[in-house]
Amino acid sequence: MYSVTVRGHMMIAHSLRGEVFGPAQQLHGATYIVDVEFRGASLDASGIVVDIGRAAHALDAVLAGLNYRNLDEDPAFRGRNTTSEFLARVVFDRIVAAMKRGDLGPDAGGVHSIRVTLHESHIASASFDARVDVSA
């Protein structure tokens, strides 16, 4: 199994509903380091899983849509708790959409799974991991 990981970061504001979240029920900020790992069983003709530059650019574009935003005001997240786990899935879905548009190049079809990890701090992170089929 081969893998390539690219990293970015974003800063968001949000509040979380439910007593389980304690003080995080109030509007607060979060800074995330975001890792996206692309995995494939084989390398393409150029000897890569995915082009690192294109992958990094796609991640930057995805994060730009979230960075410096109050997620409580985003209609796409209305009624949802924008937890780290939830946001990992959002980033995953948007990276897959970028792949389907061809933003990661023609050989990205060899990627069979992606893992997105949002690091909240040096001691806490949340991930979403799934298989992908960009040919669909």
Q: Which two tokens stand for residue 40?
A: 């494939």
The residue ranges of every structural domain in the chain are 1-10+31-63+84-136
Domain 1-10+31-63+84-136, CATH number (from 3.30.479.10, 2.70.150.10, 3.30.70.260, 1.10.3720.10): 3.30.479.10
Q: Supply angle C-alpha 22, 26, 28, rounded to 5.
A: 110
User: For residue 9, what pLDDT is reported?
Assistant: 97
* pLDDT, tens digit, 9 for 90 and up, residues 94-119: 999 999 999 998 878 789 999 999 99
Residue 41: how many CB atoms within 10 A of its CB? 11
Cβ contact 40:108 at 8 Å: no
Region for residue 18 given its phi and psi (left: phi exceeds 0; alpha: psi -120 to 50; beta: otherwise): left
Q: What residues of the chain score a pLDDT lower than 50?
A: none
User: For residue 41, what pLDDT is reported?
Assistant: 93
User: For residue 135, what pLDDT is reported?
Assistant: 66
Query: How do 69-70 and 125-131 pair as beta strands?
Result: unpaired
